[in-house]
Amino acid sequence: MKAKTVSSASSVYKMMNQLPRAEELGNSLFLVVDSYFRNKPVMKNWISRLEKSAEVVVYWVQAGEELKNLTRFADHVLRIQKLLGPKFGKNFCIVGVGGGSVGDFSGFLASVYKRGVPHVQIPSTLLAAIDSAHGGKNGLNVGGVKNQIGTIYPPRRVLIVKELFKNHNPDRCLEAYGELYKMAWIQGGELWNSLNQMKRIDLESMWVGLPQAIAAKYKVVKKDPRNFRTSSYFEFRPHDGACFRKLLSFASWLGCFGGNGFCFFL
């Protein structure tokens, strides 16, 4: 399958400081939002701003693997049908705001609801901003096994919004750094060099590294949209061990060696 939609990565994704205005999204918006943000002023303010110039329906979801449970999907669709009623027709855009689980759920929903409606991803974890929000791969879990049912449905746009990452705790940053490191290992070159120059693992440094990481992701997606062969790119490269040592020291410092981030990276 050819990944036509990623021929120009920069037109697909955009980095911005604040959540987008309605004009960037459309007149009829179905927002699938991680309930982590339910009482956060940033989300409340954004939704009220959108409501001033667009028809907006919000569907709050609990992030995590249960959201991706296929057996629950029909219940979600029934609730969504009731929420949307007849007013939206087929001319609306599904905007997923959250980490990878919300991205997978909203992407899958967009790909099958009314046989497909436009999808915009607004990743709220750095991990999703680097990886899962791009390329259109989505998956639901079946019988506890991850990503057994899914589609490849590239989002119209991926909007990476800095203000959403402000409350990331250090181990989430480390997780994202793990992904960045993996990509740098695969890619070498400029990404690898800038990772070596990274002095700290925090939002500011990750923000600077994001465009290169995303470019690396689109390169892989372009070669292999279904990511079947990704593991074959992940071979040992004879770079110096500075990044690896840095990752080890940060992981031990945070006491999460063997925890989420590091296991994920491996």
Per-residue string for binding with ligand NAD, 11-40, x by CB under 6 A? Answer: -----------------------x-x----
CB atoms within 10 A of CB 133: 31
Q: Can residue 167 be called a binding residue for ligand NAD (CB under 6 A)?
A: yes
Residue nearest to ligand NAD (CB): 100
Quick one: three-class SS letters along 91-112?
CCEEEEEECHHHHHHHHHHHHH
Residue 166 carries which DSSP code? T
Window contacting ligand NAD (CB under 6 A); options: 1-9, 10-18, 119-127, 201-209: 119-127
Distance of CA 90 to the CA centre of its chain: 24
H/E stretch holding 32? strand 28-34
Q: Can residue 165 be called a binding residue for ligand NAD (CB under 6 A)?
A: yes
Q: Which of 9, 31, 43, 63 binds ligand NAD (CB under 6 A)?
A: 63
Window contacting ligand NAD (CB under 6 A); options: 84-92, 132-140, 237-245, 246-254: 132-140
- For residue 143 the two structure tokens come to 């019988």
- For residue 147 the two structure tokens come to 């990503």
**CA 105 – CA 178 distance, rounded (Å):** 24
Expressed in percent and rounded to 5, the helix, strand and coil fractions of the chain are 55, 15, 30
Q: Can residue 102 be called a binding residue for ligand NAD (CB under 6 A)?
A: yes
Q: Which of 28, 108, 117, 137 binds ligand NAD (CB under 6 A)?
A: 137
Which chain residues interact with ligand NAD by CB under 6 A?
34, 36, 63-65, 68, 98-102, 104, 124-125, 127-128, 131-132, 137-138, 146-147, 164-165, 167-168
